[in-house]
């Protein structure tokens, strides 16, 4: 004798069973709304649910793990390109590294504007559709800055020694990632980074409105650690520029 459970499994709403021609036939689903009855689920409803799930997953990934940005200026060249024949590098920022620690020296980070750092041409001007896609993590975000961490809380950062090199806690560093090393010494400074803050600089020292440019403003050019969005991990576009960003070893001797 066939049990009720076995008999009902084949005709359970929402399942597929074989029709007279052997092909699967879609059964109806009993919805909680009386006015809908037991009609089959429309394709547009299924498509809408799939889109909603995809958007929610994308938002979760953006909030917790990864987020895409575009490079707004030339300040990080040659590491990152802002305006090469009108093509801006698209970068992926990962947030996992900073779940349990603060940024380290030498890391390239994306951070929110501490106040008045973004120049007019760097500010994002997305249209409504782009803003919605960026919110969902489906379009590169703008309105942020990208720089390299040079000093962390407690560091004394000086520019420069007799060879034009930056000194951190009295030790000179050889920055082979800088576009024009001689440009660094043109803007001398001597600062001590407060705890909970960062001193950041662009790799294109001659064309970077970084901590040096804002040292005389409120905040003294320091970036609060809690304004850092994440660490730049990859360049994903243009295809020919794709790369994994490695941290320079020159800072290892300072730890």
Domain boundary among the residues 14, 31, 55 is at: 55
Q: Give the span between the Cα atoms of 28 and 41, in whole angstroms.
A: 7
Domain co-membership, 74 together with 196: yes
Q: What is the count of structural domains for the chain?
A: 2
User: Residues 235, 241: contact at Cβ < 8 Å?
Assistant: yes
3-state secondary structure of 209: coil
pLDDT digits (tens, 9 = 90+) for 161-174: 999 999 999 999 99
Domain co-membership, 115 together with 168: yes
The mean pLDDT of 48-58, rounded to a whole number, is: 68
Determine whether 211 is an active site residue: no
Q: For residue 82, is it within any domain? A: yes
Q: Which domain holds residue 42?
A: 4-55
Domain co-membership, 37 together with 160: no
Q: Which residues pair with 167 in a beta bridge?
A: 158, 172
What is the structure's pLDDT at 120? Answer: 39
The mean pLDDT of 153-165, rounded to a whole number, is: 94
Domain co-membership, 106 together with 41: no
| CB-count burial class (<10 Å; 0-12, 13-18, 19+) for 150 | buried
Domain co-membership, 110 together with 48: no
Domain co-membership, 186 together with 234: yes
Q: Which candidate in 62, 73, 95, 147 is catalytic? A: 147
Q: Give the span between the Cα atoms of 112 and 62, in whole angstroms.
A: 15
Question: Does the pLDDT value for residue 143 go beyond 60?
Answer: yes
Q: For residue 162, is it within any domain? A: yes
* Band of pLDDT at residue 74, cut at 50, 70 and 90: confident
Question: Does the pLDDT value for residue 75 go beyond 60?
Answer: yes
The CATH number of whichever domain residue 87 belongs to comes to 2.10.109.10
Q: Which candidate in 62, 73, 75, 231 is catalytic? A: 75
Q: Please state, as a whole number, how many other Cβ atoms lie within 10 Å of the Cβ of residue 62.
A: 19
Domain co-membership, 126 together with 249: yes
Determine whether 147 is an active site residue: yes
Q: Which two tokens stand for residue 132?
A: 């919605």
pTM for the full predicted model: 0.69
């Amino acid at each position: 004798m066939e049990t009720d459970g076995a008999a009902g499994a084949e005709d359970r709403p929402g399942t597929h069973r074989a029709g007279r021609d052997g092909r699967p036939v879609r059964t109806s689903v009993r919805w909680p709304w009386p006015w809908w009855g037991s009609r089959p689920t429309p394709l547009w409803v299924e498509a809408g649910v799939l889109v909603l799930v995809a958007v929610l997953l994308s938002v979760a990934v953006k909030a917790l793990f990864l987020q895409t940005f575009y490079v707004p200026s030339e300040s990080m060249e040659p590491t990152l390109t802002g305006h090469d024949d009108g093509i801006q590098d698209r970068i992926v920022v990962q947030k996992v590294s900073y779940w349990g620690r603060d940024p380290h020296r030498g890391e390239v980070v994306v951070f929110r504007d501490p106040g008045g750092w973004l120049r007019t041409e760097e500010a994002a001007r997305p249209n409504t559709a782009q803003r919605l896609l960026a919110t969902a993590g489906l379009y590169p975000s703008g309105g942020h800055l990208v720089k390299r961490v040079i000093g962390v809380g407690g560091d004394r950062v000086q520019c420069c020694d007799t060879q034009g090199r930056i000194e951190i806690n009295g030790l000179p560093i050889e920055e082979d990632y800088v576009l024009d090393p001689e440009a660094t010494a043109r803007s001398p400074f001597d600062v001590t980074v407060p705890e909970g803050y960062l001193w950041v600089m662009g790799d294109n020292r001659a064309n970077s409105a970084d901590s040096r440019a804002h040292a005389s403003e409120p905040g003294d050019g320091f970036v609060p650690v809690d304004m850092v969005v994440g660490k730049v991990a990859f360049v994903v576009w243009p295809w020919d520029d794709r790369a994994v960003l490695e941290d320079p070893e020159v800072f290892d001797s300072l730890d």
